C-alpha cells in the first residue's frame, strides 16, 4: 500500500502511537505522519504509508488550521491541561475592541518561544524528556512564525475560544500562553482540534478505528486513500513513456530533457497509468533535476 490516509486522531493517543498501530498492519511498509498532534489534541493527522513517506518534504510546509480553547487564570508547566499549575492570575474582562486588538497584534509574522515540553532537541535529547526527568531546562530561543488569521471569542469568563490558521513551526500551546498574557492574565491550552493541514481537510478524514478495520480486512484502497500523485496535485504534471520511467528510476534525469513545464519549479512526473514516478525541479527551460523517485 502506497498512499496517504487522513485520520481523525482521537484524544489520548500520541501521533507516534497512531503510526505504530497502522504500521503493525502494513508491515514491512514504512509509515509516517505529517505534523505531530499532542496526545490530548484531536483532528486531522495525515498518515503516509509506503512510498508516500517520501512525500513528507513536499507536504510538511503547508498552513495548519486549528480550533481550540484556552483556560484562563492558570498556567501549567506543559502549557496545556495535562501539566501542573505553575502560576495563577485574576481573570480578565476585556472589551470587544480590546479583544479584537489582541487578535490583530497576533496576526502576521510574530515572535514565539516554543514550550519547554516540546520535541525540540538540545544535546540530541528532546527537551520534554529532560523536563520530565526534572532537569532545569532553559526555554528555547524565540523564532518567527506566521499567523495567517486569528479569531477570538469568550465561551465563558474563564475560557477563550480561538480559530487560527498558521504557518509551519507554530505551537498552539505557546499561542495560548501568549494570548492569555496579552489579556493581562495567564492561561493554558484546554482543547485543540486540527481541521486542516496544507491541502488536506478534516472533512475527508476518518476515524482511526475505521482505518484499522479496513487494513485488517485487506482493503488497501480504503478508506479514502489518497494516491501519491493526488497528494501533490497542486504541482504541474507531465506524463512520460515506459522507457523514460525506467531511466528515471535509474537516476537518469536526462529523460526529462525537453519536457519541463513552462512554469518551472517543482513538478510531478506520471506514467501512462497516472502513477507518480518522480518529483523533479526545473533547472532550466529544458532540463530538470530529480528530487524523489517513487517505486509504485
Give the active site residues. Answer: 38
SS (H, E, C) 74-125: EEECCCECCCCEEEECCCCCCCHHHHHHHHHHCCEEEEECCCCCCCCEECCE
Rounded to a whole number of angstroms, the CA Rg of the chain reads 22
Other C-beta atoms closer than 10 Å to the C-beta of 225 total 20
- The β-bridge relationship of strands 121-122 and 125-126 is antiparallel
SS (H, E, C) 35-66: CCCCCCCEEEEEEEEHHHHHHHHHHCCCCEEE
Amino acid at each position: 500500500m502506497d498512499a496517504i490516509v487522513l485520520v481523525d486522531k482521537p484524544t489520548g493517543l500520541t501521533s507516534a502511537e497512531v503510526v505504530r498501530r497502522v504500521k503493525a498492519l502494513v508491515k514491512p511498509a514504512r509509515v509516517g505522519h505529517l505534523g505531530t498532534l499532542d496526545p490530548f489534541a484531536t483532528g486531522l493527522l495525515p498518515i503516509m504509508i509506503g512510498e508516500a513517506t517520501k512525500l513528507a518534504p513536499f507536504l510538511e510546509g503547508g498552513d495548519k488550521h486549528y480550533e481550540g480553547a484556552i483556560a484562563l487564570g492558570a498556567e501549567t508547566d506543559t502549557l496545556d491541561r495535562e501539566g501542573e499549575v505553575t502560576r495563577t492570575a485574576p481573570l480578565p474582562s476585556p472589551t470587544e475592541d480590546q479583544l479584537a486588538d489582541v487578535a490583530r497584534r497576533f496576526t502576521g509574522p510574530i515572535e514565539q518561544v516554543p514550550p519547554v515540553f516540546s520535541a525540540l532537541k538540545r544535546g540530541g535529547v528532546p527537551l520534554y524528556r529532560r523536563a520530565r526527568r526534572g532537569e532545569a531546562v532553559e526555554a528555547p530561543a524565540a523564532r518567527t512564525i506566521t499567523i495567517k488569521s486569528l479569531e477570538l471569542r469568550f465561551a465563558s469568563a474563564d475560557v477563550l475560544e480561538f480559530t487560527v490558521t498558521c504557518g509551519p513551526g507554530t505551537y498552539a500551546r505557546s499561542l495560548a500562553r501568549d494570548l492569555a498574557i496579552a489579556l493581562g492574565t495567564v492561561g493554558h491550552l484546554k482543547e485543540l482540534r486540527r481541521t486542516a493541514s496544507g491541502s488536506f481537510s478534516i472533512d475527508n478524514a476518518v476515524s482511526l478505528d475505521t482505518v484499522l478495520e479496513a487494513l485488517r480486512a485487506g482493503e488497501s484502497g480504503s478508506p479514502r486513500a489518497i494516491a501519491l500523485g493526488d497528494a501533490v496535485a497542486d504541482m504541474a504534471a507531465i506524463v512520460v513513456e515506459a522507457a523514460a520511467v525506467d531511466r528515471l528510476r535509474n537516476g537518469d534525469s536526462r529523460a526529462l530533457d525537453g519536457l519541463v513545464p513552462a512554469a518551472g519549479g517543482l513538478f510531478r512526473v506520471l506514467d501512462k497509468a497516472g502513477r507518480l514516478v518522480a518529483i523533479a525541479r526545473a533547472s532550466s527551460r529544458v532540463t530538470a533535476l530529480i528530487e524523489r523517485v517513487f517505486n509504485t
